[in-house]
């Protein structure tokens, strides 16, 4: 019984994600970056990017290591976006299936624990005004970026999320929406590539 509970905790962790979804999302957005690089005359760099199906080909022809570093930097940013989006989708699926209190250390779980300890909704609400919540951001100093680049990353991530979460009433995404989003993602990647 303990092992079964422990196993479900590991599977339904805040940090868990659907690996197939992650690979699908990363391959899609990395493909967009490859297309942008090829369109801007950097087809060799596009071939040098990592792929799920083949190892990166960095040998020969890439004299400018600055551009290679920039391309890999953008690729790793895209991997981070895909990881974040995949984890968010996984968390939402668990919450839909098992309830908002299913994942440990999140608001739903904390409120459930207070209820189990005998707190009423009124008591919890009364204490909220005394609560202090702080956002903690951790980043290495080398991750600092110009405000414009950060804005491009935010817009790209918003578009990335829209591409994977924009169904209409019937649960479908129209071809026009897909095309418009795909165009916007490629345009933002092009801006990021040219911005440096």
Categorize the per-residue pLDDT at 8 as very low, low, confident or very high, splitting at 50, 70 and 90: very low
Q: How far apart are CA 68 and CA 27, in angstroms?
A: 19
What dihedral do alpha carbons 124, 121, 134, 150 form, nearest 10°? -170
pTM above 0.75, yes or no: no
In this prediction, residue 7 carries a pLDDT of 35
In this prediction, residue 41 carries a pLDDT of 92
In this prediction, residue 172 carries a pLDDT of 65
Dihedral class, residue 80 (left if φ above 0, else alpha if ψ from -120 to 50, else beta): alpha
Q: Which of 4-8, 71-75, 85-89, 146-150 has the lowest mean pLDDT?
A: 4-8
Q: Which residue did the predictor score with more confidence, 134 or 4?
A: 134
Categorize the per-residue pLDDT at 170 as very low, low, confident or very high, splitting at 50, 70 and 90: low
DSSP H or E segment with residue 81: helix 65-98
pLDDT(40) > 80: yes
pLDDT tens digit string along 83-114? 888 888 888 888 899 999 988 878 888 889 99
């Amino acid at each position: 019984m303990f092992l079964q509970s422990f196993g479900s905790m590991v599977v339904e962790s805040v940090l868990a994600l659907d690996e197939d979804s992650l690979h699908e999302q990363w391959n899609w957005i990395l493909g967009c970056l490859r297309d942008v690089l090829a369109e801007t005359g950097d087809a060799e760099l596009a071939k040098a990017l990592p792929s799920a199906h083949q190892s990166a080909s960095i040998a020969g022809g890439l004299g400018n290591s600055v551009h290679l570093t920039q391309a890999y930097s953008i690729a790793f940013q895209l991997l981070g976006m895909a990881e974040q989006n995949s984890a968010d989708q996984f968390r939402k699926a668990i919450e839909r299936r098992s309830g908002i209190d299913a994942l440990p250390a999140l608001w739903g779980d904390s409120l459930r624990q207070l209820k189990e300890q005998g707190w009423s909704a009124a008591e919890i609400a009364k204490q909220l005004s005394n609560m202090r919540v702080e956002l903690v951001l951790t980043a290495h100093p080398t991750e600092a970026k110009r405000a414009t680049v950060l804005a491009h990353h935010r817009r790209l991530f918003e578009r990335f999320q829209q591409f994977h979460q924009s169904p209409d009433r019937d649960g479908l995404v129209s071809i026009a929406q897909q095309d418009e989003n795909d165009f916007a993602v490629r345009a933002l990647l092009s801006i990021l590539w040219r911005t440096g």
